[in-house]
Amino acid sequence: MNDSSWQPEPVPAGPAYDAQVGPHTRPMPIVPDAAGRDFDDREARDRGVAADSGPLFRADTPPQEPMPSPPPPHAQQPQDASPPPKKRAGRDLRAAIGVGVGLGAVIFASLLIVKAVFVGVVVVAVVVGLWELTSRLQEQKGIKAPLVPLAVGGAAMVIAGYVRGAEGAWVAMALTVLAVLVWRMTEPPEDYLKDVTAGAFAAFYVPFLATFVAMLLTADDGPERVITFLLLTVVSDTGAYAVGWRFGKTKLAPRISPGKTREGLFGAVAFAMAAGALCMEFLIDGGSWWQGLLLGLAVAVSATLGDLGESMIKRDLGIKDMGTLLPGHGGIMDRLDSLLPTAPVVWLLLAAFVGTG
């Protein structure tokens, strides 16, 4: 191997190099100090200081990063590029609309074909509603309201109301409650009072109130009365939802139903009164538009109270829906909540305005 590559390079003469540096000694560069003066690394070595130390390379002082300069006053902070969340409905609107249209088609078809077919639709709705209510009571509270006498008595109640009117409905109601008392005696006496009380409540809440729908059908313009009842209730709910979703700010009953607002109630009243005036003027024989205004107001109030009433029941049971039978709606009882208490109100006002014939 040629060792010439390891020979020391000649040291150039000049002020930057010390004359005493030997041929085998690396020349020491001059380093400026903090004040700008030249500082010979050899002097630092002679004082026992490391050659790389000095005012610019002090070992005990770590290098400091430059402080970030504050943003100018007019600079704006970066904002989240994502848009604010939009209001969304609490249910699947597509499913809800589809199921609603399907139910409406069944109801209107039964009304236009034969009145008795519509009575059968009401009976089915009552029996399913009783099954949902008694099932939730037993699951959530351990209350065993007997379903068999309630279902049989509920169906009889609706049919009696259609055939015999209010008198037949009251008699069937009394017999249904009596059947509940007797049926429950076949089981141990523990919680007897609680179970039969729940049974009597269920008999009144679902089938007895539903008999007024069948009683609306007995008039000569019965289908038109039932359509008016259903249309006003649906329009009231739709107006409450639309106005409350868009403008709702003030809670109506936050402890019962946080989603309902006073603005939504005003929307329900306005929509129902307008629909009531049209229905009484063009659908009901002998009706007048001003009667429709009163009817619409009463329907909006009763439908809202009915909705709040079932919300109270569901909150007590700790559930969101009474069932899952209707996609987008919940159960049958979740659709009957505003219809049931509205039926006697519509029947009574129509009887007062135009009679029951």
- Give the whole-angstrom CA distance, residue 322 versus residue 303: 18
> How many other C-beta atoms can be found within 10 angstroms of the C-beta atom of residue 120?
15
Tens of pLDDT, residues 42-61: 444 444 444 444 444 344 44
Tens of pLDDT, residues 160-189: 999 999 999 999 999 999 999 999 999 999
Tens of pLDDT, residues 57-116: 344 444 555 555 555 554 455 454 555 555 554 556 677 677 778 878 888 888 888 889
> How many other C-beta atoms can be found within 10 angstroms of the C-beta atom of residue 75?
8
Tens of pLDDT, residues 232-253: 999 999 999 999 999 999 999 9
Cβ contact 311:318 at 8 Å: no
The pLDDT value given to residue 269: 97
Tens of pLDDT, residues 173-232: 999 999 999 999 999 999 999 999 999 999 999 999 999 999 999 999 999 999 999 999
The pLDDT value given to residue 39: 43
Place of tokens 């400091």: 64
Cβ contact 345:354 at 8 Å: no
- Give the whole-angstrom CA distance, residue 272 versus residue 280: 12
Query: Nearest to residue 276, comparing CAs of 300, 296, 301?
Result: 296
